[in-house]
Amino acid sequence: MFIEPSIGKSNPKDKKGHIEVICGSMFSGKTEELIRRLNRALIAKQKVEIFKPSIDKRYHEFDVVSHNESSIRSTPVQFAEDIILLAGNCEVVGIDEVQFFDNRIVHVATVLANSGKRVILAGLDMDFEGNAFEPMPQLLSIAEYVTKVHAICMKCGDLASYSFRLSATKDKVLLGEKESYEARCRKCFFEDKDK
Ligand SMILES: Nc1ncnc2c1ncn2[C@@H]1O[C@H](COP(=O)(O)OP(=O)(O)O)[C@@H](O)[C@H]1O
Ligand SMILES: Cc1cn([C@H]2C[C@H](O)[C@@H](COP(=O)(O)O)O2)c(=O)[nH]c1=O
Ligand SMILES: [Zn+2]
């Protein structure tokens, strides 16, 4: 269980920002965990802004929605830099599906944290081939707090860290849900990967 480093109100001048990353495979609970942290910040009456890349319109144009249908209002943005302006004077910034931003998200997260904000980023750490999903490696390096969550392997029921693509498409970006992907453990992922 992740314990919030500090959540109460304090003088904004004294606030040190930081970066939290929530990573894992598809269906591992990244979005649920992001929503949980953001809702707790809202309960603490903090100013919260939530963003997602505008290409991710799977469930809803504006909301960040988990596979379990929990949701929170967000602002879709095309470019990572848009977040700096739109974050304004908020205290907490949440960003879902960070793997769909380019490397400039690393600079954006740094600027936001250096200006005293709590920055919470959620996204895939690996693509459908089991390779690192840029820019997640850089984000993991600069984060103060990293949480890796796990799904359940759809083949054997063990813990899953991989997102197995059910179609033959080789494009790195292929938006989808259960019709296109399933969570797999290492063994079940690699034994079927190149079949
Ligand atoms: N294979 C699976 N393993 C775990 N949870 C699953 C699986 N398939 C569907 N789910 C559902 O997905 C929810 C997590 O959804 P979500 O937070 O959107 O995950 P992520 O953002 O990591 O894709 C779980 O609470 C569960 O209801
Ligand atoms: C593995 C992988 C996934 N995607 C897409 C599929 C989904 O639209 C999102 C991940 O969503 P989730 O909230 O983590 O379930 O990413 C992709 O485009 N390419 C991939 O390799
Ligand atoms: Zn398995």
Helix (H, G, I), strand (E, B) or coil at 141: helix
DSSP assigned state of 132: B
| DSSP-assigned letters across all residues of 92-135 | EEEE--GGGS-THHHHHHHHHHHTT-EEEEEEESB-TTS-B-TT
- Condensed to tens digits (0 to 9), the pLDDT of residues 15-28 reads 799 999 999 999 99
| Closest by Cα among 120, 141, 123, 114 to 24 | 123
- Ion ligand 3 neighbours (CB, 5 A) are 153, 155-156, 158, 185, 188
Q: What is the pTM of this model?
A: 0.95
Q: Whose CA is nearest to atom 27 of ligand 1?
A: 68
Q: Is the ipTM of this complex over 0.90?
A: yes
Q: For residue 182, which ligand has an atom nearest its CA?
A: 1
Q: Residue 8's pLDDT band (boundaries 50, 70, 90)?
A: low
Query: Are the C-beta atoms of 97 and 54 separated by less than 8 Å?
Result: no
Helix (H, G, I), strand (E, B) or coil at 73: strand
Q: Residue 61's pLDDT band (boundaries 50, 70, 90)?
A: confident
Domains along the sequence of the chain with CATH: 16-149 (3.40.50.300)
Dihedral sign of CA atoms 142, 4, 94, 33 in order: positive
